[in-house]
A and B are shown apart, each in its own frame.
Chain A
Amino acid sequence: MILLIGATSIGLILALLALGVYLSFRIFNFPDITADGSITLGAAVTATLLAHHWAPAVATLAGFAAGMVAGTITGLLHTKFKINELLSGILVMTALYSVNLHIMGKSNVPLLNESTLASQAEQVASYLFRGPADLNVLGWPVSIRDFAVLSGVLALVVLVGLLLYLFFQTNLGTAMRATGDNPQMIRALGVSVDYILILGLALSNGLIALAGSLLAQYQGFADVQMGIGMVVWGLASVIIGESLVGGRRIGLLIVGAVMGSILFRQLVAIALRWGLNPNDLKLITAGFVFVALVAPALLRKFKSAPAKPAAA
């Protein structure tokens, strides 16, 4: 149970990563590798500010803003300097590694004794429930910290998901979706495709950095290596989510990305519990994304291929 709660909390936090990846990969069809760097950037900025005793909410917002700056730079590299999409992301991601080290001043910033959003949530919860260290949820003892963090993260992700959904219904958000769908058309309707792409990448990386910021506060440290492979994890969540909800409607896909992220983390937790070597995790994730990307096309081919006459 504790395992599942932990996995769900991480899954919810990384749902923000999944939403960011959904925005760049699916809305714009832009394979944005910046994510690996921007999730660490969010963690680094927030952790450093927390270590300097800033208010957790402000430190978290600063992490979000830093991610937006990173996304803007990737967007500028691609649109203004005509650098290939993947390469723009790789350049910014690589540069961010040094930037993150500079921000943190060392490769790892612990937050165990700092006030974070997690510790604040715990305080609120213990005030509300007045005392007991453990809560009884459906017969399981759950520590008040886990419970507080889980509900706090859930509330935040629901809020972000809802805001994102509402954003996509506004004039600007509709134009953003159309930019990914048919850039020629939206240009003919007077929208600067470059501007919208930069804005979208800023938003995407802001969300991803927010995930990093929350992850650092949840696990109690920021580490310069923590972003490696995150794009693929986010993509895995998005793909799982798409197969969970099926439809193409934007609201469903947002819910799907969140659900996909949670399910993915739970699967990972269970697999690790069963004795999967943690070192193999990224290999298996990459393999999974490969299969998920290739399988639909293969299945179609398989179905449409004329049935071969049975061998005599």
Chain B
Amino acid sequence: MANTPDYSWPPMADRKIIGKSFKRLDGQAKASGRAKYTSDLKMKDMLYAAYVLCPHGHARVTSIDTSAAEKVKGVQAVHVIAPAGTEVQWHGKEIAAVAATTEEIAREAIRMVKVDYEVMPHFVNEQDLGKAGSRGKAAGEKVTGDPEKAFQEAEAVSDGVYGIPVITHSCLEPHGCVIQWQGDQVMAWPSTQFVTGWANTLAPNLKVPAANIKVKMDYIGGGFGSKFSPGAWAEVGAILSQKAGGRPVKIYLDRVAEQTIAGNRPSAFGKIKIAGKKDGTITAWQSDTWASGGFAGGGQPPLPYVYNNIPNTRLNHTSISVNAGPSQAWRAPNNQQASFLTCSAIEDFAAKAGCDPMDVFNKNAGYTPRAEQYQYQLAKAAELSEWKKLWKPRDQRTGTMRRGLGIGVNAWAGNGHGCTARLTINSDGSVVLEMGTQDLGTGTRTIMTQVAAETLGLQMGQVKLVIGDNSLPPGGSSGGSTTVGGVSAATRKAGVNALGKLYEAAAPALGVQPEELEAVDGQIRVKSNHAKNMTWVAACKKIGPAGKISETGVNETRNPMGLFSGGAAGVQVADVSVDIETGLVKINRFVAVQDCGLVINPKLAESQVIGAIIMGISTALYEERIMDNATGRMMNPDLEFYKLAGIKDIGDIVVHMDIREVNDKRGVIGLGEPPAIGICAAVGNAVANAIGKRVPYMPMTPMHVLNALEGRNA
């Protein structure tokens, strides 16, 4: 058996491409509009689909008549999803779909589908646990240590109510695909976070062999956890295509459907008490939490978050079913809620104990899995936010505009997923790297190319990359911040493996053994004598009669080989100003200190963090699914009253990537999710610090802030 080649990352000091801030390879194509997203696709004979959606919060379909819609000129297929007798549990649930030659005709035709409903009682708001009744399902109580005694002996106890609402996925590119079903062959162009596995999920539903489903995607306009599976729409699109004689069907959700059924981040509410000493040491935690992720209930945040080794805890949780669309993973599922609930309660405890929260987070870092790391990051975040200069205790602020600072923390695993890269070196020197993966906008294209170029001793422009096709070697799903660790390790291995073969081809000409060679600066050279070398192209000419070397590299999740690991940590500080007369909150500055192990491209890493902060500030200040008790409907399924931040609403962002040898040695760690976790926590705490009162409910709208200031909260 041959020795396992050395796949380890080159030492920090020796890296020429890895660790450098290359611009995003697809940046120009995207910024100029040349990059075509699936939602941009137009094909010959393509049909457009539109949905009939349930207008009620809870109803039974009593009859459905599609005959008028079928007669509309241009309509090519009609498909009933919810036949008479079907009970539907939320506003927006799909009832029927139509495919027509234009989008306008499809939209007109769905109005001609006549559906009668028996409207049934709905329950759509879970904020008040007392009203949930039989819709709530309690998980059993969990107790560690002796919380009773710890609370009795406490020198300070905080007691607060906190709530973070359901927010919806609002990807720039909505959910959908173009799909064509002819006989037993299916061709699909989805918008997905999982190119390789998409067909395998769809195949059983269509009863078509997965081998017969071809999938291709070049660009995706955001996923954030909501685009793993093909979604019900892919199946509906396929059925419409088949009914229309195999014409391709473009089925994309409009904003109403997108907001009501494409997935959401579950809510979380809690009554939380923390006990401790006057010096800020936490001794006990008690939480009664409840949450809803839609009709299926769900959503139990891991509490207490990060500070999960508090010795005495008592936890209760109730999952509530509401008549509303389902949840989908939302950039660190359950962690945002957990960070918000935990950091809010810690901030309130600090205020009760009369301590600076920075000291309390620091003093209790022993309860976290990585005390030194969090303490380092807290100190760095304090420095960058000018905490010592700007932070003042609650109630020491005066005037109409009040400034406040608050802390949020994050933790995430982010181990590399399993995947396979194939690297081919041609005898003319050209190189192609292939994998059935996807670039969610995170920079996957760029970092894969960097790893290959570094490994082969080439420049960025010398490696061609092909992704986004399920006929390529399997990629993993881009979720859980697992992509960067997976694709970089697999690429590294494929590169080292291919290079080994190239060394074998080139070694005789240099009169050495293959293992004496290295690839640096476009040369294959002898490690001990750099003067003995040949150019990359000359070396490739030595490749045998096949004309190419093609090697794969497989990343195995259970055998990281030092290439990747898990466990990212971050500390963030929000600096806000609150107008106490209007309740308006403005972000002055948002500081993020984040580690993610070995950083392949600092610019892209920073960009990831900036993106997370923009998204997070939007959720902290504006985003909220508003459900109407009167009608059972979502009242803001649009981008008008479902408010998203604009660029002027964001404030200054300061990102510090925690790039240190000690972190680098851990290998590559995923970054997509962690920086998005603690933003509501930090902003909520900053507002509490500014106005001297806890605003219990996110987002920090004038309504919520003024309700708190004017005592309108129970």
Same complex origin of A and B = no
